[in-house]
Amino acid sequence: MTIVVGYVATPEGRAALTTGIAEARLRGSDLVVVNSPRRGATVDAAMIDDADAAALVEEAAAAGVRAQVRQPVHGDSLADVLGDTASEVDASLVVIGLRRRTPVGKLVLGSTAQRILLDASVPVLAVKAP
Protein backbone atom coordinates (compact mmCIF):
# COMPACT_ATOMS: atom_id res chain seq x y z
CA MET A 1 0.00 0.00 0.00
CA THR A 2 1.14 3.51 -0.76
CA ILE A 3 0.15 6.96 0.42
CA VAL A 4 0.47 9.95 -1.91
CA VAL A 5 1.16 13.40 -0.46
CA GLY A 6 0.77 16.64 -2.40
CA TYR A 7 3.66 18.79 -1.19
CA VAL A 8 4.78 22.38 -1.57
CA ALA A 9 7.18 24.12 0.81
CA THR A 10 4.49 25.96 2.78
CA PRO A 11 3.01 25.40 6.24
CA GLU A 12 0.13 23.57 4.56
CA GLY A 13 2.52 21.37 2.60
CA ARG A 14 4.48 20.66 5.76
CA ALA A 15 1.25 19.64 7.54
CA ALA A 16 0.37 17.30 4.67
CA LEU A 17 3.85 15.75 4.74
CA THR A 18 3.88 15.28 8.52
CA THR A 19 0.42 13.69 8.40
CA GLY A 20 1.37 11.54 5.40
CA ILE A 21 4.45 10.20 7.20
CA ALA A 22 2.39 9.46 10.32
CA GLU A 23 -0.29 7.66 8.29
CA ALA A 24 2.30 5.67 6.33
CA ARG A 25 4.00 4.60 9.54
CA LEU A 26 0.67 3.63 11.11
CA ARG A 27 -0.44 1.64 8.06
CA GLY A 28 2.96 0.16 7.18
CA SER A 29 2.75 1.92 3.80
CA ASP A 30 5.25 3.51 1.47
CA LEU A 31 5.04 7.23 0.76
CA VAL A 32 5.14 9.07 -2.56
CA VAL A 33 5.60 12.82 -2.20
CA VAL A 34 4.41 14.73 -5.27
CA ASN A 35 5.96 18.16 -5.79
CA SER A 36 4.85 19.24 -9.23
CA PRO A 37 6.11 22.30 -11.11
CA ARG A 38 3.57 24.04 -13.31
CA ARG A 39 4.03 23.41 -17.04
CA GLY A 40 7.57 22.12 -16.58
CA ALA A 41 8.87 25.43 -15.26
CA THR A 42 12.49 25.20 -14.18
CA VAL A 43 11.86 28.05 -11.75
CA ASP A 44 8.69 27.64 -9.73
CA ALA A 45 8.16 28.72 -6.13
CA ALA A 46 6.40 25.41 -5.46
CA MET A 47 9.29 23.29 -6.76
CA ILE A 48 11.82 21.94 -4.26
CA ASP A 49 15.43 21.25 -5.18
CA ASP A 50 17.29 17.94 -4.98
CA ALA A 51 18.66 18.67 -1.50
CA ASP A 52 15.17 19.42 -0.16
CA ALA A 53 13.80 16.27 -1.80
CA ALA A 54 16.57 14.19 -0.21
CA ALA A 55 15.79 15.78 3.18
CA LEU A 56 12.11 14.79 2.85
CA VAL A 57 13.11 11.19 2.08
CA GLU A 58 15.48 11.18 5.07
CA GLU A 59 12.76 12.61 7.33
CA ALA A 60 10.42 9.80 6.33
CA ALA A 61 13.19 7.20 6.77
CA ALA A 62 13.84 8.49 10.29
CA ALA A 63 10.19 7.66 11.03
CA GLY A 64 10.59 4.19 9.52
CA VAL A 65 8.81 5.03 6.26
CA ARG A 66 10.18 4.33 2.80
CA ALA A 67 9.56 7.40 0.63
CA GLN A 68 10.27 8.85 -2.76
CA VAL A 69 9.76 12.31 -4.24
CA ARG A 70 8.29 12.72 -7.69
CA GLN A 71 8.17 15.97 -9.62
CA PRO A 72 5.92 15.37 -12.63
CA VAL A 73 5.06 18.47 -14.61
CA HIS A 74 1.48 19.64 -14.86
CA GLY A 75 -0.47 22.09 -16.93
CA ASP A 76 -3.63 23.50 -15.46
CA SER A 77 -4.50 20.53 -13.28
CA LEU A 78 -2.50 19.49 -10.27
CA ALA A 79 -5.55 17.41 -9.36
CA ASP A 80 -4.94 15.25 -12.44
CA VAL A 81 -1.27 14.79 -11.50
CA LEU A 82 -2.17 13.62 -8.00
CA GLY A 83 -4.93 11.37 -9.35
CA ASP A 84 -2.66 9.87 -12.00
CA THR A 85 0.08 9.27 -9.45
CA ALA A 86 -2.38 7.68 -7.03
CA SER A 87 -3.58 5.33 -9.78
CA GLU A 88 -0.05 4.52 -10.92
CA VAL A 89 1.17 3.51 -7.45
CA ASP A 90 -2.16 1.94 -6.40
CA ALA A 91 -2.47 4.42 -3.54
CA SER A 92 -4.73 3.78 -0.59
CA LEU A 93 -4.84 7.45 0.48
CA VAL A 94 -4.02 10.94 -0.80
CA VAL A 95 -3.03 13.63 1.70
CA ILE A 96 -3.23 17.35 0.89
CA GLY A 97 -2.83 20.55 2.88
CA LEU A 98 -5.52 23.22 2.93
CA ARG A 99 -5.17 26.92 3.61
CA ARG A 100 -7.32 28.45 6.29
CA ARG A 101 -10.22 30.31 4.73
CA THR A 102 -12.84 32.83 5.71
CA PRO A 103 -16.46 31.63 5.97
CA VAL A 104 -17.07 32.84 2.40
CA GLY A 105 -13.84 31.21 1.23
CA LYS A 106 -14.97 27.92 2.73
CA LEU A 107 -17.97 28.05 0.45
CA VAL A 108 -15.65 28.04 -2.56
CA LEU A 109 -12.84 25.92 -0.93
CA GLY A 110 -10.35 26.37 -3.74
CA SER A 111 -10.56 24.91 -7.19
CA THR A 112 -7.56 22.57 -6.94
CA ALA A 113 -8.45 21.21 -3.51
CA GLN A 114 -12.07 20.86 -4.54
CA ARG A 115 -11.15 18.90 -7.68
CA ILE A 116 -8.84 16.62 -5.71
CA LEU A 117 -11.54 15.92 -3.13
CA LEU A 118 -14.28 15.34 -5.70
CA ASP A 119 -12.31 13.48 -8.40
CA ALA A 120 -10.03 11.22 -6.36
CA SER A 121 -10.64 7.49 -6.69
CA VAL A 122 -9.25 6.89 -3.17
CA PRO A 123 -9.89 8.57 0.17
CA VAL A 124 -8.41 12.06 0.58
CA LEU A 125 -7.21 13.38 3.91
CA ALA A 126 -7.17 17.18 3.91
CA VAL A 127 -5.20 18.79 6.76
CA LYS A 128 -4.57 22.35 7.88
CA ALA A 129 -1.36 23.82 9.21
CA PRO A 130 -1.33 24.38 12.97
Confidence tier at 75 by pLDDT (50, 70, 90): low
Q: Are 14 and 95 in contact (CB under 8 A)?
A: no
pLDDT tens per residue across span 16-27: 999 999 999 999
pLDDT higher than 90, residue 100: no
Mean predicted lDDT score pLDDT of the chain: 86
Confidence tier at 103 by pLDDT (50, 70, 90): low
User: According to the model, what pLDDT value does residue 107 have?
Assistant: 54
Written as one string, the DSSP assignment of 26-56 is: HHT-EEEEE---BTT-SS-TT---HHHHHHH
Confidence tier at 113 by pLDDT (50, 70, 90): confident
User: According to the model, what pLDDT value does residue 84 have?
Assistant: 92
Weakest-pLDDT range from 54-58, 105-109, 125-129: 105-109
Q: Are 71 and 35 in contact (CB under 8 A)?
A: yes
Q: Would the CA dihedral through 109, 84, 94, 129 be positive or negative?
A: negative
Q: Is 13 exposed, middle or buried (0-12, 13-18, 19+ CB in 10 A)?
A: buried
Spatial CA neighbour of 16 closest among 108, 83, 113, 119: 113
pLDDT higher than 70, residue 4: yes
Beta bridge mates, 38: 74
Written as one string, the DSSP assignment of 76-94 is: S-HHHHHHHHHHHTTEEEE
Angle between helices 78-88 and 111-119 (to 10 degrees): 30
Name the pTM for this structure. 0.86
